[in-house]
Amino acid sequence: MDCIFCNIIKGDIKSYTVFEDEIVKVMMDINPVSNGHMLIIPKKHFVNLEDIDIKTLSHIQEVAKDMFKLLKDKLNIDGLTLSQNNDYGQEVKHYHLHLIPRYKNDNLKMSSNNKKDDIKTIYEKIMK
């Protein structure tokens, strides 16, 4: 199986990792919808919501809460949209949760065409 997320988790592909433990990796999305857009990816390969176990799913939600606080503290976001696709619309067939920061008057249309800062710049703000 050639899964880009599995290759990132193995360290074969570099990522802007914000948080990692034995269950998940949280990294910056390389095609962000807004400043601070992150992905939470389980280290074990699950295709979608049908085959992920509830323990891992619950852990992902706990980490999402922590990342919400981190984004509020570091980027002063006004809100957060969580998005997770299954089958149709799922570009990478490895379960992952999008954390999409929202800002007042962002007029976000879930498109990567919105004006955003450089990923490295945003990553450095989050990690300091």
Residues involved in catalysis: 96
Q: Dmax of the chain from CA atoms? A: 42
How many Cα atoms within 13 Å fall on the side-chain side of residue 66? 13
User: How remote is the C-alpha of 120 from its chain's centroid?
Assistant: 15
SS (H, E, C) 6-62: HHHHHCCCCCCEEEECCCEEEEECCCCCCCCCEEEEECCCCCCCCCCCHHHHHHHHH
